[in-house]
Amino acid sequence: MKTKLLVFALIFTVMVSYGQQDSQFTQYMYNTINVNPAYAGSREVMSIFALHRAQWIGLDGAPVTNAVSINTPLNRNNLGIGVSLINDKIGATQENSISTDLSYTVPASETFKLSFGMKVTANIFNLDATKLNPVDATDASLQNYKKFSPNIGAGIYLHSDKAYIGFSIPNFIESNRYNDNEVAIFKEKINYYLIAGYVFDLSDSVKFKPAILSKMVQGAPLQIDVSGNFMFMDKFVAGIAYRWSASLSAMVGFQVSDGMYIGYGYDKETTKLRNYNSGSHEIFLRYEIFNTIDKITTPRFF
């Protein structure tokens, strides 16, 4: 137990030293609105999404993330809107964020559309001092702490039925989550995202989609996620993903009905942390509401 607590302390120290990053998701390609507001309404139906991620199972105080979002086009015009909620827990800290996304889409060619998006976020950071185990229990500086931080972001998203590429900055404002003696030790940094993917029709019943996500944060290593998913008979999805110098993942999904899709992902660490946990689990459910005009014959792969 002492070893696990020590490892967690080291992890937390590294995280705050490099600066706070946004929540990470293995199956980000199904939850794109969290990283790019221009995605809002791009599926041309009302899309409801819920995800649970338990990271580094077996490690005390490891991150747990819950995310819920809904986005939809507005009145069959060029506007899209979305709302997202994210709850992040790690050790004695908890963050709750609620974001509103607005997008505007214009034709870029006969097959591509270009969407522009804006994001407005309210974040509440909490530190529960009762979950800490300080050397000096009488230290007056160790108190419960709460901080509210607003933020804004933007993104662009070029997409067709077969391909997409997007760039976004969900948070333009750098803010201190927690200060100790006027020194910022837990700070939100600006995150830059570049995403891209393409769907290949290998046959009438098999599709293949490679995708990439690149995330850059000042003071932190460049994060690159590369994935490849196969869709069979427009129903079953299986694939693998690799997060550069971090983890290897397996993903599966099933199109239960025209509107309902469920997916699961498992991450295995490739760093030294693999000696202290049994991997990360991620499960999500997406439900989409169609009307008679919108109803599709085959599900879109992103």
The helix (run of H) or strand (run of E) holding residue 114 is strand 113-127
What pLDDT, on a 0 to 100 scale, did the predictor assign at position 269?
93
- Asked if residues 229 and 243 have their Cβ atoms less than 8 Å apart, the reply is no
What pLDDT, on a 0 to 100 scale, did the predictor assign at position 5?
40
List helix spans (H) across the chain: 2-18
Residue 297: inside a domain: no
What pLDDT, on a 0 to 100 scale, did the predictor assign at position 268?
95
Identify the CATH number of the domain in which residue 136 sits.
Answer: 2.40.160.40
Residue 154: inside a domain: yes
Instruction: Select from 231, 269, 278 the least CA-distant residue to 251.
Output: 231
Residue 44: inside a domain: yes
DSSP state of 274: G
- Asked if residues 290 and 72 have their Cβ atoms less than 8 Å apart, the reply is no
Structure tokens at 153: 């972001």
Residue 296: inside a domain: no
- CA atoms within 13 A of residue 199's CA, in its CB half-sphere: 21
Residue 302: inside a domain: no
| Number of domains the chain is built from | 1
Residue 294: inside a domain: no
What pLDDT, on a 0 to 100 scale, did the predictor assign at position 12?
46
User: Strand pairing partners for 152?
Assistant: 120
Residue 232: inside a domain: yes
Report the chain (302 residues): mean pLDDT per 10 consecutive residues. 42 43 85 95 94 94 95 90 96 94 96 97 90 67 84 97 96 76 64 96 96 90 94 96 94 94 96 92 94 60 82
> What is the reported pTM?
0.86
Residue 300: inside a domain: no
- Asked if residues 224 and 213 have their Cβ atoms less than 8 Å apart, the reply is yes
What pLDDT, on a 0 to 100 scale, did the predictor assign at position 16?
41
In which domain, by residue range, is 8 found?
Answer: 2-289
